[in-house]
Amino acid sequence: MSFRLFTDTSANLDSSYLELNHVDVVPFSYVFNGEQLTCLDTEAFDGVPADEYYAALKSGSRVRTSQITPEEYRSYFEPALESGDDVLFISMSSGISNSFNSSVVAVNELREKYPERKIRAVDTLAASLGEGIMVMRAIALRDSGLDLDTVADEIERRVQSMYQVVLIEDLMHLHRGGRVSAPKALLGTVLGIRPILKGDDGGHLVVCSKVRGRKKGLAALADKYGELVDRSAPGTVGIAYTDCKDDAYALRDMLEGIFAPKEFLVVRYEPVTGSYVGPGTVALFFEGADGVRQK
């Protein structure tokens, strides 16, 4: 391989898949029930059963998260540089977390220390499988023999073609995490409205519509897929859920009836990003035309 590929656990890809494809992972950490945990296994939640975790959130338990620091990034990137490898890091959205900005600090410092090496950080402006699908694309491009800059440039070019739409049960989780304002969160809670959010062109989650009832919410996600998916080049379609697996697979069946992609990837939200979107969440990720985030 011509370079080392890194991502973070927000990419929501199975740890065995990442290991098999030689992707190094910088983990997010979180505090749950007074214990600090580091999530490297996004499926098993590193000792906290996923069902138990989301049930606790639903009953009111709070989770504290923190951004990845420049020092932590350096501790992961520097050994690769020391061993003579170049480094490409594919990150969670800067519109959701300041962690990407921390990675840029680390990258700039390491460039000065290792001027003979290449090191780049790419902001996917996405989370969960919106980020994960970009990592999968980077793996394929790397394995086809392309160099670091070509792969990084191609991922950056495709960032604005990744559409993310999310059905939320309760905006209060996003409010507690500082992702939406209190008035918007309270409106949905009081009226029983289920908000639908999308990832905008700056990588933020913004409310794009509201529905009453989960069936209507899932149908709204499917409608976005039918309207915006790129049918000229079937790719990977991602679905992430917290504690509503049946809804996730019901959405998959709806999408298959509209347009069958190359593959579906259905995963449970990892604990850090999952703590922000909260129980009852189903999210859809797919590639459309360039600029589709503005739709």
Q: Which domains does the chain have, with CATH numbers?
A: 4-159 (3.40.50.10170), 160-294 (3.30.1180.10)
pLDDT of 174 strictly over 70: no
Query: Residue 181: which pLDDT band, with cuts at 50, 70 and 90?
Result: very low
Query: In the predicted model, is pLDDT for residue 201 greater than 60?
Result: yes
- Checking if the pLDDT of 170 tops 80, the result is no
What is the mean predicted confidence (pLDDT) over 251-262?
A: 97
d(CA 43, CA 49) in angstroms, rounded, equals: 9
The pLDDT of residue 182 is 44
Q: Is it the case that residue 213 has pLDDT exceeding 80?
A: yes
**Residue 173: per-residue pLDDT:** 58
pLDDT in tens, 149-167: 999 999 999 999 999 999 9
Q: What is the pLDDT of residues 263-281, one digit of tens each?
A: 999 999 999 999 999 999 9
pLDDT at 177 over 50: no
Sole residue written with tokens 């490297």: 40
Of residues 101 and 195, more confidently modeled: 101
Q: Find out whether 114 and 152 touch, Cβ atoms under 8 Å.
A: no
What would the mean pLDDT of 191-218 be, rounded to a whole number?
89
pLDDT for 262 equals 96
Bridge-based pairing state of the strands 119-123 and 162-167: unpaired
Residue 185 has pLDDT above 80, yes or no: no
- Number of other residues whose CB lies within 10 A of the CB of residue 224: 22
Least Cα distance to 164 among 8, 74, 282, 272 occurs for: 282
Mean pLDDT value of segment 176-199: 62
| pLDDT tens digit sequence for 126-137 | 999 999 999 999
Give the span between the Cα atoms of 210 and 266, in whole angstroms. Answer: 24
pLDDT at 184: 53
Q: What does the mean pLDDT of the chain come to?
A: 91
Separation of alpha carbons 65 and 87, rounded Å: 26
pLDDT exceeds cutoff 90 at 244: yes
Please state which of the ranges 37-41, 76-80, 249-253 shows the lowest mean pLDDT.
37-41
Q: Is 47 exposed, middle or buried (0-12, 13-18, 19+ CB in 10 A)?
A: exposed
Q: What is the pLDDT of residues 105-133, one digit of tens each?
A: 999 999 999 999 999 999 999 999 999 99
Asked if the model's pLDDT at residue 175 lies above 60, the reply is no
Q: Averaged over 241-252, what is the pLDDT?
A: 97
Rounded mean pLDDT, 279-288 = 97
pLDDT of residue 284: 98
Q: Quick check: 188 pLDDT over 60? A: no
Q: In the predicted model, is pLDDT for residue 2 greater than 90?
A: no
Give the per-residue pLDDT at 71: 98
